[in-house]
Amino acid sequence: MSKPSLTLKLATPRGFCAGVDRAIQIVERALELHGAPVYVRHEIVHNKHVVDRLKGLGAVFVKELEQCPPDRPVVFSAHGVPKSVPAEARDRKMFYLDATCPLVSKVHVEAERHHNEGREIILIGHAGHPEVIGTMGQLPEGVVKLIETAEDARTYTPVDPKNLAFVTQTTLSVDDTSEIVGILQSRFPEIAVPHKEDICYATTNRQDAVKQVAAECELFLVIGSKKSSNSQRLVEVALRGGTQVAHLIDDATQIDWDWFNGVSTVGISAGASAPENLITDVIAAIGARFETEVHETGGVRETVVFKLPRVLTEASA
Active-site residue, selected from the candidate residues 120, 131, 276, 296: 131
Strands (E), the chain: 5-10, 38-41, 59-62, 74-76, 96-98, 120-124, 144-147, 164-168, 219-223, 245-249, 265-270, 291-296
Q: How far apart are CA 238 and CA 215, in angstroms?
A: 8
3-class SS at 137?
Answer: coil
Q: Which amino acid is at 48?
A: K
* Phi, psi (rounded to 5 degrees) for 124: -90, 120
Task: Give the whole-angstrom CA distance, residue 297 versus residue 247.
Answer: 20
Q: Would you call 289 helix, strand, or coil by DSSP?
A: helix
Count the helices and strands in the chain (H runs, E runs). 11, 12
Catalytic: 131? yes
- Quote the CA–CA distance of 259 and 217 in Å, as a whole number: 13
Q: Which residues pair with 220 in a beta bridge?
A: 246, 267
Q: Which of 53, 52, 20, 73 is nearest to 228 (CA)?
A: 20
* Residues designated catalytic: 131
